[in-house]
Amino acid sequence: MVKKSAPKTLDLTKSGSSPTNCQTIQSLPERFFRLSIFTQFYPPDFAATGQLIEELANHLKHQGMQVKVFTGQPGYAFSKASAPVKEESGLLYVRRSRTARLFPNRIRGKAINGLMFALRSALHLLKPNQCGDVLLLTTAPPFLPILGYLAHLLFGIPYICLLYDLYPDVAVGLGVISDNHWTVKAWDFINRCTWRKADGIIVLSSSMRERIVAKCPEVADKISVIHSWANPSWIVPIPKDRNWFAQKHQLTEKFTVLYSGNMGRCHDIDTILDAAVELRNEPIQFVFIGNGAKRQLCINKVNRLGLRNCLFLPYQDKADLPYSLTACDLSLVSISPGMEGLVAPSKLYSALAAGRPIATICERHSYLRPLISDAHCGATFDNGDGQGLAEFIRCLAADPYLVERLGNAGRRYLETHFTPEVISRQYSVVLRRAVMKREVVSISPPQPSINSPLS
């Protein structure tokens, strides 16, 4: 593992307040260019990655960019069968392809669905005028950035890799495949080829940056650490006694602990349930909102243990999120052991915006620990420390002033570091740099050869 201070690595995590990074942003003049974004998930789908891309695209179109999004039909977590094939809003264009829905809650099903979307994306790239001036390719699905590599080889188009998750490492960490399997070695080789040719690599945490540099040290100078975000103008703290969602689910009289989002294999739910067992006879309510591979397992465990302090709800409509996220007194964020640097929970930022304290369950070397410490917004716990989490919940339940103080501190930290305006400017730096770099290369005069009369 390399040190966090790897040379030449661009860290934009605090560009909202850093004079140096602000000067970097101002030194890259805004100009109109065409950005093409490829991502499998996009609203009205509930997938968090898609919702973030929608917000990013809307902010970038106001920064001198025509943004075209190629995505799939809702298939991750949405009740309707389809969405419009084409949408247009000013300089933002959305084109939806069909999306396979084979066993969406199983790993192999997700892989097949992602592969089908990647193939449709490749066909879309072959159409005239679909590449734009620069490509932004997400890891939804994980092998989508390969298309950027191919587009670069065929058309010379610059591309940026936006890595939400690090594959095949996630599959190895989950025990789906062994780390010495030929598929893993081949995938790592393709990743290195893709990263080397990329004009930029965006990751969501310093831990993920370290993983990539360890695999491919020569791309360190291309990596930008840019966090996810939440909109504090949309998610606003609402007292539970004035929150219809809290009233509807009878959460106003009990101290409420909320886990909202994907309950997947990369998330530690067991530690949360251990805390629920510790607090089973106290006026404390645990609420789980979302879906994922572990959801039914959790429900089964709760039923088996006879816990009456756990409530499971489905994903909520986007319009209801400002109410569901604030219908609590404490928000939970968790990463399973071995997943540090492979995934980054986007639920953290909406929890900060909600103005509630945050309890984070993660490994000791996690990037989340210094972040929570800097924000003064909660506490962190080792995986498996359900008793420690329970004691923290008891402490908060007995001290409403502490709850308010931690929640307000977290919201202030978000407003300084992780708003859409702050983060979109960081993306703009990386994208404009890629376009300008290619323009400089294209207008540079050829260098004289050894046999040239000018030499």
Residue showing tokens 């996220």: 325
Helix axes 386-397, 270-278, angle to 10 degrees: 60
Q: Where are the beta strands (DSSP E) in 296-394?
A: 310-313, 330-334, 358-361, 378-381
User: Are the beta carbons of 420 and 231 closer than 8 angstroms?
Assistant: yes
Q: Angle at the Cα of 368 (from 187 to 431), degrees rounded to 5?
A: 55
**Number of Cβ within a 10 Å radius of residue 449:** 8
Residues paired with residue 161 on neighbouring β-strands, in sequence order: 137, 201
Which two three-digit tokens encode residue 404? Answer: 């308010």
Q: Which string of DSSP letters, residue by residue, matches 119-187?
A: HHHHHHHTSTT-S-SEEEEESSSTTTHHHHHHHHHHH---EEEEESS-TTHHHHHTTSS-TTSHHHHHH
Which two three-digit tokens encode residue 221? Answer: 């100078």
Which two three-digit tokens encode residue 243? Answer: 């929150």
Which two three-digit tokens encode residue 195? Answer: 């990263």
User: Are the beta carbons of 85 and 98 closer than 8 angstroms?
Assistant: no
Residues paired with residue 67 on neighbouring β-strands, in sequence order: 35, 92
Beta-carbon contacts of residue 103 (< 8 Å; ≥ 6 apart)? 109, 110, 112
Q: Which CATH number fits domain 10-229+419-438: 1.20.1260.10, 3.40.50.2000, 3.30.70.20, 3.30.70.250?
A: 3.40.50.2000
Residue showing tokens 């191919």: 150
Superfamily of domain 240-417: Glycogen Phosphorylase B; (3.40.50.2000)
User: Are the beta carbons of 109 and 102 closer than 8 angstroms?
Assistant: yes
Q: Which string of DSSP letters, residue by residue, matches 323-339?
A: HHTTS-SEEEEE--TT-
User: Are the beta carbons of 426 and 226 closer than 8 angstroms?
Assistant: yes
pLDDT in tens, the chain (455 residues): 433 344 344 445 443 333 334 444 444 445 678 999 999 988 887 778 888 999 999 999 888 789 999 998 876 544 555 788 899 888 899 999 876 555 555 556 677 788 888 888 888 888 767 677 899 999 988 889 999 999 899 888 899 999 999 999 998 988 888 999 999 999 999 999 999 999 999 999 999 999 999 999 999 999 999 999 999 999 999 999 999 999 999 999 999 999 999 998 999 999 999 999 999 999 999 999 999 889 999 999 999 999 999 999 999 988 999 999 999 999 999 999 999 999 999 999 999 999 999 999 999 999 999 999 999 999 999 999 999 999 999 999 999 999 999 999 999 999 999 999 999 999 999 999 888 877 665 554 544 444 433 33
User: Are the beta carbons of 157 and 134 closer than 8 angstroms?
Assistant: yes
Compute the distance between CA of residue 334 and CA of residue 383 in angstroms, rounded to an integer.
Answer: 9
For the chain, the 3-state helix, strand and coil shares in percent, each to the nearest 5, are: 45, 15, 40
Same fold, 10-229+419-438 and 240-417: yes
- Sheet containing strand 358-361, edge to edge, reads 310-313, 284-289, 255-260, 330-334, 358-361, 378-381
> Distance of CA 217 to CAs 113, 148, 213, 339, 419, Å?
32, 20, 4, 21, 31
Which two three-digit tokens encode residue 373? Answer: 């410490």
160 closest CA partner among 185, 123, 132, 187 = 132
**Domain residues of the chain, as ranges?**
10-229+419-438, 240-417
pTM of the model: 0.84
